[in-house]
Chains A and B, each alone.
Chain A
Amino acid sequence: EVQLVESGGGLVQPGASLKLSCVASGFTFSDYWMSWVRQTPGKTMEWIGDIKYDGSYTNYAPSLKNRFTISRDNAKSTLYLQMSNVRSEDTATYYCTRMQLGWFAYWGQGTLVTVSS
């Protein structure tokens, strides 16, 4: 069974950095492209970016590419999202997703990030 478990969310101050993790199990992590998606408190869904199965290529939403970095450690079956200089509008639930026959076939349960002073 495919499982994606995000962690690392919490309350963070504006301007700070935060790193989210997603531990994958139930499949060979190194075989799949992975992505991050977030959902705002107003329920808007936003694609953040993707990373190729070997980590050699990443693609980001233009509005986020200067502050967010996606990486992976295939030996640990873990996906990461490094967030820097966070803003109030980054407050959201962050989901880790996996590709299969197209985009976002599997989702984790999400981790909530709240940006507030």
Chain B
Amino acid sequence: DIQLTQSPSTLPASLGERVTISCRASQSISNSLNWYQQKPDGTVKRLIYSTSTLESGVPSRFSGSGSGTDYSLSISSLESEDFAMYYCLQYATYPLTFGSGTKLEIK
């Protein structure tokens, strides 16, 4: 199975700050990576697919990049609604696997 190491597990940040979340795969996943946001009420939303394609309706302050084994999600200027959990997902190989999550919290 492909392991995804997501870091940091917790990220304290302030409004307006730029943040980056990392997701490292145990082997190359050829850009087969998505990013998801989960709100405290459990609602899950796909933000980015195929490493860097922004989901329709997702603000442009979100961006994704990476290749090979290293991927990242960046938020350029944090807004209050961005404080949530974030997960990466690889779909290069079955079984599909998720990162362990990053809790983005208000500093």
Binding site for B on A (CB under 8 A): 43-47, 59, 61-62, 93, 95, 101-107, 109-110
Contacts and interface: CB of A to CB of B under 8 A. Distances in A.
A114 B59 CA distance: 36
Interface residues of B, number: 22
Nearest to A93: B42
Given A103-B34, A103-B89, A103-B91, A47 B46 contact: no
11 contacts: A44-B100, A44-B101, A45-B89, A45-B98, A46-B98, A102-B50, A103-B91, A103-B96, A104-B36, A105-B49, A107-B45
A91 to B, nearest CB: 15
B44 interface: yes
The B interface is mostly helix, strand or loop, or mixed, namely strand
Contacts of B98: 44-47
B89 A110 contact: no
A12 to B, nearest CB: 20
Nearest to B94: A59
Interface of B: 34, 36, 42-46, 49-50, 53, 55, 85, 87, 89, 91, 94-98, 100-101
Contacts of B55: 105
Contacts of B87: 45
A38 to B, nearest CB: 11
Contacts of A105: 46, 49, 55
B100 A47 contact: no
A109 B95 contact: no
Contact of A47 (B36, B50, B96, B101): B96
A47 B97 contact: yes
A107 B44 contact: yes
A109 B49 contact: no
Given A104-B34, A106-B46, 13 more contacts: A43-B101, A44-B100, A45-B98, A45-B101, A47-B95, A59-B94, A102-B50, A103-B49, A104-B44, A104-B46, A105-B46, A107-B43, A110-B42
